[in-house]
Amino acid sequence: MNTALLVPQQSQNYPPDTTVQPKINSMIDDLIASLPDPKQLTSEERRGIIARYTAVLEGNFIYWMTATLLAVQSEDARPILLDNLHEEVRDAHPAMMRRFAIAAHAFPTDSDALAVHDDLTKIRLFLGRLSGVQSVLTMAFFEGFIQRFMTYLADLAKGQGSLDMEYTDVHGVCDIAHTDGLFRALSVEMTVNPLEPGKDLFEGVYLLRTLIEAIVFDQVATLSA
């Protein structure tokens, strides 16, 4: 009875599960294709991208994933999120991120933090709504992007003379499994805890895409103006 009631509600709010991941993959493809050639960037432009990325990731990723864990209602989704958090904390990924930035001479300044402040605040407030389906999809998109972005980020760091690639090496591998897990979590959460009528499934994804664009393009656009 409950399942029968959930199916029509689910179909009114977002596309079938089989169409969600291809759309996310396409959005990630577009972002990756839009990245400026590291060889064409100045040292300050490379530094700015790494610094803004660090300003966003180091102090926020675990918070975002924790907010997503609090938001989900599916018992099958929670272990997937907990495994991700356990790895982040156990292996001190924020410390790994900081070492990576320092080695690339790209530790964030106040200007770097302020460059992403507004878009970062929007993500924080969005995840604070604790919408399970939207939050899981947002994090699936981000994990998928990070995995693809790591080679590019490593190239930026190498251009800065860095030899510390632990962060990019680890996340280029582990985020493949993280992304797959989050899409499994999305599937069960969509069934157990459908999105409310009138809500946009991709709202958080669009906000996060804008934040990524601020990370990548803000300083480049400023220096080119």
This prediction's pTM? 0.87
- Sequence-ordered list of residues with C-beta below 8 angstroms from that of 22, at least 6 positions apart, any chain: none
Per-residue pLDDT tens digits for 19-40:
899 999 999 999 999 999 999 9
Which has more pLDDT, 190 or 178? 190
Domain assignment of residue 7, yes or no: no
Q: What is the pLDDT of residue 153?
A: 97
For all residues of the chain together, what is the average pLDDT?
Answer: 89
Domain assignment of residue 2, yes or no: no
Domain assignment of residue 25, yes or no: no
Q: What is the pLDDT of residue 204?
A: 98
Structure tokens at 42: 């100045």
SS (H, E, C) 157-222: HHHCCCCCCHHHHHHHHHHHHHHHHHHHHHHHHHHHCCCCCCCCCCHHHHHHHHHHHHHHHHHHHH
How many domains, the chain? 1
- Of the chain, the percentage scoring pLDDT greater than 70 comes to 87
Structural domain harbouring 122:
40-224
Domain assignment of residue 27, yes or no: no
Query: How many Cα atoms occupy the beta-carbon half-sphere of 175 within 13 Å?
Result: 21
Domain assignment of residue 130, yes or no: yes
Closest CA to 20 of 207, 201, 182, 189: 201
Q: What angle do CA 43, 34, 172 make, to 5 degrees?
A: 75
CATH of the domain at 174: 1.20.910.10
Per-residue pLDDT tens digits for 193-211:
999 999 999 999 999 999 9
Q: What is the pLDDT of residue 73?
A: 96
- Count of beta carbons in the 10 Å neighbourhood of residue 37: 8
Per-residue pLDDT tens digits for 105-142:
999 999 999 999 999 999 999 999 999 999 999 999 99
- Sequence-ordered list of residues with C-beta below 8 angstroms from that of 144, at least 6 positions apart, any chain: 24, 25, 28, 175, 179
Domain assignment of residue 179, yes or no: yes
Q: What is the pLDDT of residue 2?
A: 37
For residue 89, is pLDDT > 70? yes
Domain assignment of residue 35, yes or no: no
| Cα 211 → chain centroid | 9
For residue 3, is pLDDT > 50? no
Sorting pLDDT into bands at 50, 70 and 90, what band is 172?
Answer: low
Compute the average pLDDT of residues 157-186. Answer: 86
Domain assignment of residue 9, yes or no: no
Q: What is the pLDDT of residue 175?
A: 57
